[in-house]
Amino acid sequence: MGVFDSGVGGLSVYRWIKELLPHERVIYLADTARLPYGLKPQAVVREFVIQIVGFLVDLGAKAVVIACNTATAAGLEAASGRFSIPLVGMIGPGAREAVRATRNRRVGLLATEGTVRSGAYQRAIRQLDPEVEVFARGCTPFTTLVEEGRTEGPEAEEVVREQLAWFADKDIDTAILGCTHYAFLRSVISRVLGPSVTLVDPGRAVAEELAQLLRSQDLLNRGCETAPEDAFYTSGSPRRLQEMVQLLLGLPAPSVGQVSWPG
C-alpha cells in the first residue's frame, strides 16, 4: 500500500500502520521538494495528490493513505473519483476521534494554514455534532521544527508556547493534531496545553480505518510470516529521509529512491 506526505510528518501514520498491519508492505513517499503544502493554493495541492496517487498505483499500491491533512482537504475527493483503489485521508477519522473525546464541546485544531483555510475539519465536525465549537489555529512553524528534527528542547518548547498562547482563553478540552508532523511534537504540545486537554492524533484512527477497508475488500496480506521490506521514495534528499527515519522512528536507515516530477 502507499502512504505519502509533503515531508516526514506522514511517518507518524506509517508507524501506526506498521503496528496494526505488520504483514503489509508499505511504499512511503515524502514530497519534500514541494514542501510546505500548507502555504500553496488548494488547486495546486490537488494536482500533487492526483500525481502522487498515480505514481503509487503504478508501483503496485493496492490502497493509498493521504497522510497529510492539507492534501486530504485539497485532493481526497478528486483522487477518489479518479482511482478505483481504496483511499484514506486524515480528516474524517480525526474529526470522529475529536467529537468522541470532547466533554465540553470546545475543540482546538492545530494545523497548517492550508488546512485551516479549507474549513474541512470544521465541516466534518459540524456534520458529526453541530454543537461542537472549533477553534482553529495555523501552526506552520511546527512543520519546520519536525522537518529539521527539533522535536524536543528549549527551542521547540519556545516555538510551541508562542503558537499555542492563542488557545489560552478558549477553554478547549480537546486538541486535534491536524498535521501529521505535529504528532512528533506531541510531548511538548501536551506539556504546553496541560493535562486537562486531550490530544487527538488521527494517525491511529486512520490506520484502523485502513485495516477495516482492506478486510472488507479481502485485500489483507495474510500469508506473510515475516514483515515485508518497505520502500521509501522522496522528491528531496534521499539521505535526509534516511536520517529522519532513524531519528523519528528509531529504525535503521532504509534505501531511498529519488523521484523527479515532470515540469
Active site residues: 68, 179
CA distance 37 to 207: 22
Residue 48: which of 75, 14, 16 has the closest Cα? 75
Q: Render 187-242 in DSSP notation, one character per residue.
A: HHHHHHH-TTSEEE-HHHHHHHHHHHHHHHTT----S-SSPPPPEEEESS-HHHHH
Q: How many residues does the chain have?
A: 263
- The backbone torsions φ and ψ at residue 242, rounded to the nearest 5 degrees and listed phi first, read -60, -45
Among residues 98, 51, 43, the alpha carbon closest in space to that of 74 is found at 43
180 and 89 Cβ atoms separated by less than 8 Å: no
Any idea which residue has 473519483 for its cell?
A: 81
Q: Tell me how far apart the alpha carbons of residues 151 and 194 are, in angstroms, rounded to a whole number.
A: 18
Q: Which residues of 48-64 are buried (b: 16+ CB within 10 A; e: fewer)?
A: bbbebbebbbeeebbbb
Q: Are the CB atoms for 91 and 69 separated by under 8 Å?
A: yes
Q: Which residues pair with 28 in a beta bridge?
A: 3, 232
Rg of the chain over Cα atoms, rounded to whole angstroms, equals 17
